[in-house]
Amino acid sequence: MALGAIFGGLANFMLLSTRVALEQFRFWNLGSLSASRLDAVATVSPLAVLGLLLAAFLCRQLTLMQMGDSQARALGIHTTWVRLGVLAASTLLTACAISLAGPVGFLGFLAAYCARLVEPVALLRQLLFSTLFGMLFLLAADVLARWLIQPFELPVGTLLAALGAPTLIAIVLRGGFRALLTVR
């Protein structure tokens, strides 16, 4: 316990010793758009487009897989390859997002859930609505984070967690875990 306190104190000292270290800590732990640069967006954009195209390409197969693996295989879907493709697309899209804004918790959850409210069946439309809602929520959270405690900026991830966590709890309390998978 004493060693933990010593090393924790040293870590805090290193974090607070320079403004750059503190800003990097804030970015990588709380998420922020304040450090995003246009050249970074230009670098990441082709990879994000590739991830979106791969996800869009897999939507038909994923829709068929909702019937179950055996049914999908009977229809000629290679479920293992589809799962690997979905893993690749989601990893690519997540890496692009985190490289630009840091870990912004609950954004994907909120966007996907709202997309399912608008379009409960068609996965391609859900993908499009999730992208749209994600952009809108992030923009709104960034504007609100810059405005709430002026002249300082609240980390976007903190604001979205403050909104997303109660939403998640309300959904689970209202319908249990199944409520996350289905929209009423």
Mean pLDDT of the chain: 85
- For the segment 91-124, what is each residue's pLDDT rounded down to a tens digit? 999 999 888 888 888 888 889 888 988 988 788 8
pLDDT score of 179: 56
Query: How confident is the model over 52-76, as a mean pLDDT?
Result: 90
Nearest to 146 by CA among 134, 138, 154: 154
- Provide the residue ranges of all domains of the chain, joining segments of one domain with +: 1-30, 37-103, 104-184
Confidence of residue 184 (pLDDT cuts 50, 70, 90): very low
Instruction: Place 178 in a pLDDT band, splitting at 50, 70 and 90.
Output: low
Structure pTM?
0.76
Cα–Cα distance list, 127 to 89, 141, 147 (Å): 12, 21, 30
Contact 108, 55 (CB under 8 A): no
